[in-house]
Amino acid sequence: MKKIFLMLIIFNSCCSQSKKIMEKRTIEVVLSSVGKTNIDKKTTSKLTGINEGSLTTSLYYYSEKSKKIIGLPINDKTFNYDYFNSKIYNNLENRRVKLFLDIYKNKSKEILIIYKIE
């Protein structure tokens, strides 16, 4: 009985491990815009453990390296919207900001989610 219980605990901890934040990262970018997210919310929700309803908005910036506009989804539950709305939103274009990211890893793929902005 104890062995079965121990195996269940190990299995559950391994399954939930995949949804935990593996790393935190900070990047500085020049914002282009804010808008509706273009990610597959259902898949991202399953891989990160974040509720689909909390993945509605993305911040977009121009990447000098790839010469593309990149959108990063925001975790609505943890994002500091009060600061964003009062300090950044009214003067958004070409604004240099610091984004704080949660990095979720699934196999070889990284999923980046913004949780804070300064």
Mean pLDDT of the chain: 85
- Determine the pLDDT at residue 22: 85
Can you give the pTM of this predicted structure? 0.79
Domain CATH code at residue 78 = 2.40.50
Residue 68, both tokens: 């593309």
- Determine the pLDDT at residue 113: 96
- Determine the pLDDT at residue 17: 45
Return the HEC string of 59-116: EEEEECCCCEEEEEEECCCCCCHHHHHHHHHHHCCCEEEEEEEEEEEECCEEEEEEEE
Pairwise CA distance, residues 52 & 35, whole Å: 16
Indicate the number of domains in the chain.
1
C-alpha of 3 from chain center: 38
CB atoms under 10 Å from CB of 55, counted, come to 22
- Whether residue 39 is contained in a domain is answered as yes
Model confidence pLDDT, tens digit, residues 49-83: 999 999 999 999 998 889 999 999 999 999 999 99
- Whether residue 99 is contained in a domain is answered as yes
The larger pLDDT score, comparing residue 52 to residue 20, is at 52
**What range does the domain containing 50 cover?**
21-117
Is the pLDDT reported for residue 11 higher than 80?
no
Model confidence pLDDT, tens digit, residues 28-49: 999 999 999 989 999 999 989 9
- Determine the pLDDT at residue 92: 83
> Are 112 and 47 in contact, with CB atoms under 8 Å apart?
no
- Whether residue 93 is contained in a domain is answered as yes
Is the pLDDT reported for residue 90 higher than 90?
no
- Whether residue 6 is contained in a domain is answered as no
